[in-house]
Amino acid sequence: MTTRLLFVCLGNICRSPSAENIMNHLIQQRGLSESIVCDSAGTSSYHIGSAPDSRMTAAARQRNITLVGQARQFTAQDFEQFDWILAMDRSNYRDILALDPGQQHQHKVRLICEFCRHHRDQEVPDPYYGGTDGFNYVIELLMDACSGFLDFVTQPSSLKSTS
């Protein structure tokens, strides 16, 4: 059985593609490629079709992570396609849940920072209008959060959010 993860931010060009590609890196390292798959999306339509931001790509590259992908917008259909939907900040979280008025899928939507073990942040800060340090920090924070989430999701009892 495959577990499907979707990472969501605002534009799908900085934080969520970083989370997706960091998680794919960890999944490959742990030999889990057959059982866990990742995607990412943005709550906005601002950058549909765009590649990851070049500043984000440069920060990821320094940690040996290659960012690939093309921005798309989150839709209500994603609730059916994914087992876990991981929001970067509370605004993304609210925008995701606004597309689930019947609250059928609320149990699979989480803030990714809940899974950090070394950082106290509750949200992944939006780096878009800031400098290089902000992009580097996003990568560092997501390494922690993704590693924590991967340990959580590979516990036998939590491979499916509904089980």
Among the options 113, 126, 144, 146, which is catalytic?
A: 126
The window from 41-49, 79-87, 98-106, 154-162 that contacts ligand 4NP (CB under 6 A) reads 41-49
Query: Judged by CB, which is closer to ligand 4NP: 135, or 149?
Result: 135
- Is there a catalytic annotation at residue 15? yes
Our finding on whether 70 is near ligand 4NP (CB under 6 A) is: no
Our finding on whether 15 is near ligand 4NP (CB under 6 A) is: yes
For the chain, the C-alpha Rg in angstroms (whole number) is: 14
Q: C-alpha distances in angstroms, 24 versus 37, 38, 127?
A: 8, 7, 21
CA dist., res. 112 & res. 148, Å (int): 9
Among the options 15, 38, 53, 89, which is catalytic?
A: 15
Considering only residues 102 to 141 of the shown chain, the ones binding ligand 4NP according to CB under 6 A are 126, 128
- Is there a catalytic annotation at residue 83? no
Angle made by CA atoms 74, 30, 133, in degrees to the nearest 5: 60
Helices (H) and strands (E) in the chain, counts: 5, 4
